[in-house]
Structures are given as structure tokens and as C-alpha cells.
Structure 1
Amino acid sequence: MPMGDSTVTTVEEGREQAAPRPVMGAPEQGFLRRRRVPRRPRLWFEILLIAVSYWTYSLIRNAVPEQRHEALRNADWIWRMEYHLGIAVEDSVNHAVNSVTWLIVGMNYYYATLHFVVTLGVLVWLYRSHPGRYAATRLVLFATTAVALVGYYFYPLAPPRLMPHENFVDTVLVHQTWGSMASGDLKHMSNQYAAMPSMHIGWSLWCGLTIFALASVPWVRVLGLLYPVLTLVVIVATANHFWLDAVGGMLCLAFGYTVARLWYGSLPYALPRVVTDGREERRLASAKA
């Protein structure tokens, strides 16, 4: 989809081709200073980094002990608390959407695919169109995912579809679709009790905010905001998450933005869109000499 520069960043157009400079206020020296300077990403490094990071994330997530009894106890507690607060809507949404076969089947595939496809698509778009903002925005995503691993370890949580004494429908099993690595023949490849926080929400909201902040086409910006909203409906309708899991994902994302803000001294979207790399900086300096 066509994406361009957001009008909110036009004030920086005069400095978009500037050489790298520190974005932190205090003078810094050496390696740490260089790491905090926005720079042009290198394709080979980014591919390797993303591949290794996702492999590590999957390894750690699946290495967390599947504490079934504790995970079910936590799920019961959340479900009772939602009922007490009058916000327990997951079963109603699950059954209502499950009654429309084409809709729930579509949501099963949505849950299984777009989580990865859209996130990778946004990363590629950032790399190509906003290289100066790429590293900081990628840091948000990585920090969000890293803190989620802490939640998986210390708060095992069963998804609604695995609660034995409730009437939730496991839509992947019922409709025999390929829709979740935590159901059917693939369930042994994924930790089924890592539902809190929801990274479907953490990642989709990261995508949505990035698109909204940086895309220039109005309808694309609207789609960016709708994407995490629709994802929330999907994770609840397929009984893969309580909606409070989404709150956990939002808190993890807030942590990710805080890390990027502290490291770069600015939110990612306020950084220059384009920066020169070290070789270009040295070439410019030589030309002036």
C-alpha cells in the first residue's frame, strides 16, 4: 500500500539530508554516542538481526514451562474478575462470530498470518522510505517483545478456549482450519499458556501507530488505526485471548516506546526521515576540505 511522509513531519524537511548528529542533549563520547545517532540501516544486518531475534523469541517463549494448573487458575481469576466488573464479553463475541462460518474461518486465517505479514511489511516500508527512523522504531518493537517474555514466564495464562469448565469454542478445531500454532497438530510447537500479554495486540498497535504517524495518504492512515482494533476483535472472537490480554500488550508497547525515547532522546517518528551513513559523511567532509 502506498505510504509516504506524514504532514506532521514536514517541519524537518530542511534537515532530512543532514549528516548524523546526536539527538541527546548531553555531550557523549565514543561507542555509546555513535549508537544513539540515527543512521542508515544495512540490509544484511537487519535481515540477520530480525531472523536471530525472532528465533530467540520463539525459543525463549516455548522454553517457558507450561504450567497448566497455574495457567488455568490465572484464567479463572481473570474471568471471575471480568464478571465481577461486568466486562466479561468474550464468550458472547466468541459464540456470535462462530455462528457465521465464513467470518470465523477468515478470522482464523487472519490470526495466523497477518500478525507476521503486516509487521514484516511495515518493517520493510520503514527500511525503504524512512531509514532515519527505522532503527528507533524497530527498537520499540524489540523492547516490546522482550518485556512480553517476562510476562510469559511470571504469569502463565491459559487462553479462554482451553478453559475446561467454560463454554468457549476453539474455532480452529471446530472448523478444521489452519489458524493457530496452539491448536491441532501444531500445538506442541508453541507454548499454549503464554497468552498474557497479547503480542498480536502489541505488534498490531505498533504497526497501526507507525502507519498513522508516517503515512501521507489519509485512507492508509485510517487503515493503520483500524488494524489493531480489528485484531482485538479477532483475538477475542477466536477465543485465543481475554481482552485484558490486550491491555497487557498495550502496556508492553508503552514500555517499548519509553525505551526508544530514552535511548534516542526523541520518539522515533520525530527523528529525521533520511540520514547519511558514515561513508557519506566522510565523503562530504573530504569534498569540503
Structure 2
Amino acid sequence: MGATSISPKVERVDPADPVTEDIEDPAAPAPRRLSTLRVPKRPRLWFELLLIAVSYGVYSAIRNAAPTRVDKAQENARWIWDVQDALGLAFERTVNHAIEGVTWLIVTMNYYYATLHFVVTIAVLVWLFRCHPGRYGAIRMVLFATTGVALLGYYFYPLAPPRLMEGMDFIDTASVHNTWGSLSAEGSAMASVSNQYAAMPSMHIGWSLWCGITICVLAAPLWLKALGVLYPVVTLLVIVATANHFWLDAVGGVLCVAFGFAVARLWYGRSCFRLPRHVDGPALAGSRDS
């Protein structure tokens, strides 16, 4: 009997069949890198200082580079005033004249307007950096997004503040009392480096509301939470009493803050206040901290 040879069976592959072999996609690491950026990390002091300085410089440059359209700014101010009057809420002039009669109070408000806008915001950022490093980046993103979207209002909607409205008898409190840091007096050093017609939206309200919400949610002492509630409320009174803003400018500021929180939530996938409080380097994506 002759030897029989057994040939190995060769499997034929139909060219029409889909190829199931895994092929490494060069672009595959991109989503992983993006997800890494979205994980809270411990902030670095030098980077944060540089980022804040550069961002504020860019913000100021863009804000002040907006076209100075005085006629349009006056027209928009009159429209705002007429809308508020139609609603029965054109109370700015009454508040302005009433508080101007109390010298110590209006001078205090002038200094409040000129200083606390920066002092409190920086203090909250420092507190977050030291006590809530895991949440710092997300809450800082809210502030940056809030401020960034406000630039659109400054550029496309020039608005004269009440103190600069033509044909109205608002009292320019900072100019009358020669308050330090006055943005009011035309030709002054501060007025020459600031866009006088960038009043909508009010970032005094935007930043104070950001501070107030952050303090109310994250601070432990009840008295500090109470201050968080009071801060934007008092700021609203101040911007109206000093004739720097209409109350509708404050509404614009609130909308900007809402936009900022929405941006941070979309980026991190959850509320910035629910991110881990402490992180040692990159935090685990699913970790939580009360």
C-alpha cells in the first residue's frame, strides 16, 4: 500500500468579506489625551499666576479695544432706561440721589466699587487654591468663561452707564467726591485707560455672584455662607447707587455666570462643586470627595 500524504487545508478568504483584523488607529490616543485634560489635577502656583496675569491683560486689552461708539452707547442707554421705565423698574436715579445725600455711605460705596471687585475675587481664588485644589481648575474655568463671554457684550453692545447719560441728572458720585480709582471723570488717568462705554454686562455682578456661589457652596461656617449671599446683593446696590450700571446690566452679568457654569459642567461632566476636593497629581476620574 502506497503512503498517503495529508495536505494541510488552506482556508480561502473571500475578498468581499470584511477584514476583522485589529488595526491600530493613529488617532486613537487623542480621545485619551482629551479625557486626561478633563481630569482635575493639583494646580501649579507659577502657572496659575501667569495664567491670571495674561488673561487679565488680554481681557483688558480687548475690552478697551472695543470701538468707542458714543452715539450708539447713548442710544442703547436710552433704550435700556425706557424698557425699565415701561416695566415700572427704573429706580436707579432715585437710589442714586437718595444715597448721595449720605456722604460717608456713598464714599464707602465708591471705594467698595473700586477695590472689592478685585480683592474678593483674588481672595476666593487663593482660598480655592489652598483648600480645594481638586476643584480649583473647574471653578476657575467658570470665572474665565464668564469673563470671556462678557467681552462679546462690550464689543458688540456699547452702553453708556447712567453717570454718563446725556439729558439725565444722575450724580457721578466718584467724580463729585474725587474718589480714588474713579473711572468717571473724562480726561482722568483712569478714564483714559478704560472703555467708558463697556457697561453691559456688569462684571462687578458677574464676579461677585461667582464669589458668592462658591463661598455659599464650599464654605463651612454659617456666617461665611451668609457673607456669600450678601456680597452680590450689596454689589448690586453699589453699582446702582454709584450710577455705574443699570439693573439690566446686572441681569447680563448673571447670564454670563450661568454660561460659565454650563461650560465647566460640559467639560468636566459634572458640577465643579462635586469634583474631589483634594488631589495628589491627577485624580481618578470616578473619585468623589465631600
Assess same fold via TM > 0.5: yes
1:192 aligns with 2:192: no
Q: Deviations over 1:170-199 (max 9, x none)?
A: 001111111433435121110000000000
Contact in 2 for aligned 1:38/1:135 (Cα 8 Å)? yes
Give the whole-Å Cα distance in 1 for the aligned partners of 2:206 and 2:34. 28
Higher helix share: 1
Contact in 2 for aligned 1:182/1:191 (Cα 8 Å)? no
Counterpart residue type for residue 36 of structure 2:
R
Contact in 1 for aligned 2:146/2:257 (Cα 8 Å)? yes
Counterpart residue type for residue 229 of structure 1:
V
Which position in structure 2 is the counterpart of 1:211? 215
Which position in structure 2 is the counterpart of 1:277? 281
Once the two structures are TM-superposed, the CA of residue 246 in structure 1 deviates from its matched residue by: 0.1
Which position in structure 2 is the counterpart of 1:238? 242
1:227 aligns with 2:214: no
Give the whole-Å Cα distance in 1 for the aligned partners of 2:30 and 2:40. 15
Once the two structures are TM-superposed, the CA of residue 34 in structure 1 deviates from its matched residue by: 1.1
Which position in structure 2 is the counterpart of 1:286? none
Give the whole-Å Cα distance in 2 for the aligned partners of 1:124 and 1:69. 41
Structure 2 gaps, min length 5: 1-28, 285-290
1:267 aligns with 2:266: no
Q: Deviations over 1:253-287 (max 9, x none)?
A: 00000000000011111111001115x99xxxxxx
Contact in 1 for aligned 2:40/2:135 (Cα 8 Å)? yes
2:138 is matched with which residue: 136, 140, 143? Answer: 136
Once the two structures are TM-superposed, the CA of residue 28 in structure 1 deviates from its matched residue by: 7.9
Contact in 2 for aligned 1:182/1:188 (Cα 8 Å)? no
Q: Deviations over 1:195-219 (max 9, x none)?
A: 0000000000000000000000000
Which position in structure 1 is the counterpart of 2:3? none
1:248 aligns with 2:252: yes
SS in 2 for 1:197: coil
1:45 is matched with which residue: 42, 47, 50? Answer: 47
Which position in structure 1 is the counterpart of 2:90? 88
Residues 1:28 and 1:133: Cα distance change in structure 2 (over 3 Å): farther
Give the whole-Å Cα distance in 2 for the aligned partners of 1:172 and 1:92. 17
Give the whole-Å Cα distance in 2 for the aligned partners of 1:176 and 1:190. 17
Contact in 1 for aligned 2:76/2:159 (Cα 8 Å)? yes
> Please, which moves more after superposition, 145-154 or 171-180?
171-180
For the pair shown, which has the larger CA radius of gyration, 1 or 2?
2
Q: CA RMSD in A?
A: 1.5
Q: Deviations over 1:136-174 (max 9, x none)?
A: 000000000000000111111000000120010000111
Whose RCO is larger (CA < 8 A, sep 6+)?
1
Contact in 2 for aligned 1:151/1:197 (Cα 8 Å)? yes
Contact in 1 for aligned 2:172/2:184 (Cα 8 Å)? no
Give the whole-Å Cα distance in 2 for the aligned partners of 1:128 and 1:28. 32
Structure 1 gaps, min length 5: 1-26, 282-289
Counterpart residue type for residue 151 of structure 1:
G
Figure out how many residues of one structure are paired with residues of the other and give that number: 254
Counterpart residue type for residue 238 of structure 1:
T
Which position in structure 1 is the counterpart of 2:64? 62
Once the two structures are TM-superposed, the CA of residue 31 in structure 1 deviates from its matched residue by: 2.1
TM-score by length of 1: 0.86
Counterpart residue type for residue 139 of structure 1:
M
Give the whole-Å Cα distance in 1 for the aligned partners of 2:230 and 2:148. 25
Give the whole-Å Cα distance in 2 for the aligned partners of 1:182 and 1:47. 30
Which position in structure 2 is the counterpart of 1:33? 35
1:150 aligns with 2:143: no
